């Protein structure tokens, strides 16, 4: 039930608790400098994807704002990982979320990977910068990750399975490398031609 009263120039609307909460949340988003922006994702074969990203010197407000935008952009695109390179920001930052519920972000700042075992793992990979294409890639299975979190604190992880694959895929982006680089030149060229055609059509 919505009750409306006209009081002079103002319309007073009495709303339910759910809508009230939504209104308060919208207000906080707009006026608390927490507003996030969905950024444009570069697509293969854009040469900017070949840039080597620079280390983050200090994890400050600017970096945390960028992390918010990256998470928003990744969730909106229904991705599981996004590197700053993909939104044309050439700093060593990655966001990931492998959870079904999309509520467990993992943030990697200045990530470094060390291979600590012999095994290889084959996995089908896709990429928000190579939309619509999925191919099998083989990568080291046993790795150790060292990175900083959103507070600038160092942490370590020994991921396996999809998490190990995704971390290596995202770290490649920071070095200007794409999963299509592991495919044959013929496959890569086919993907490039199809994406170039799509880009022409939408231009």
Q: 133 or 152, CB closer to ligand QAP?
A: 133
User: Residue 81 interacts with ligand QAP (CB under 6 A)?
Assistant: yes
CA distance 6 to 155: 58
Q: Work out which of 128, 148, 174, 191 binds ligand QAP, going by CB under 6 A.
A: 128
No. of helices (H) and no. of strands (E), the chain: 4, 9
What is the strand order of the sheet 154-157 is part of? 81-83, 93-96, 106-115, 143-148, 154-157
CA-wise closest residue to 93 among 114, 115, 127, 65: 65
CA-wise closest residue to 59 among 106, 104, 95, 92: 92
- CB of 113 vs Co ion, minimal distance in Å: 15
Q: 94 or 148, CB closer to Co ion?
A: 94
Judged by beta carbon distances under 5 to 8 A according to partner kind, the member of ligand QAP, Co ion, none in contact with residue 131 is ligand QAP
Q: Work out which of 49, 66, 127, 180 binds Co ion, going by CB under 5 A.
A: 127
User: Residue 33 interacts with ligand QAP (CB under 6 A)?
Assistant: no
Judged by beta carbon distances under 5 to 8 A according to partner kind, the member of ligand QAP, Co ion, none in contact with residue 84 is none
Sign, Cα dihedral of 92, 137, 163, 80 = positive
Q: Work out which of 69, 125, 141, 172 binds ligand QAP, going by CB under 6 A.
A: 125
Contact criterion met (CB below 8 Å) for 13 and 140? no
State the catalytic residues. 170
Where do contacts with Co ion occur on this chain (CB under 5 A)?
127
Where do contacts with ligand QAP occur on this chain (CB under 6 A)?
77-81, 123, 125-128, 131-132, 165-166, 169
């Amino acid at each position: 039930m919505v009750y409306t009263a006209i009081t002079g120039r103002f319309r007073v609307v009495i709303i339910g608790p759910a809508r009230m909460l939504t209104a308060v949340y919208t207000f906080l988003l707009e006026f608390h400098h927490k507003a996030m922006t969905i950024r444009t994702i570069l697509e293969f074969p854009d040469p900017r994807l070949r840039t080597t990203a620079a280390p983050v010197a200090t994890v400050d407000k600017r970096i945390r704002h960028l992390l918010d935008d990256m998470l928003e952009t990744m969730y909106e695109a229904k991705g599981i990982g996004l590197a700053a390179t993909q939104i044309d920001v050439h700093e060593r930052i990655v966001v990931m979320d492998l959870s079904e519920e999309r509520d467990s972000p993992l943030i990697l700042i200045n990530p470094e990977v060390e291979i600590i075992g012999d095994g290889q793992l084959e996995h089908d990979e896709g990429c928000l910068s190579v939309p619509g294409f999925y191919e099998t890639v083989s990568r080291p299975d046993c790795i150790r990750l060292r990175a900083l979190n959103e507070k600038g604190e160092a942490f370590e992880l020994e991921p396996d399975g999809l998490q190990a694959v995704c971390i290596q895929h995202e770290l490649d982006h920071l070095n200007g490398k794409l999963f299509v680089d592991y495919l044959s030149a013929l496959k890569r060229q086919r993907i490039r031609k199809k994406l170039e055609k799509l880009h022409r059509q939408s231009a």
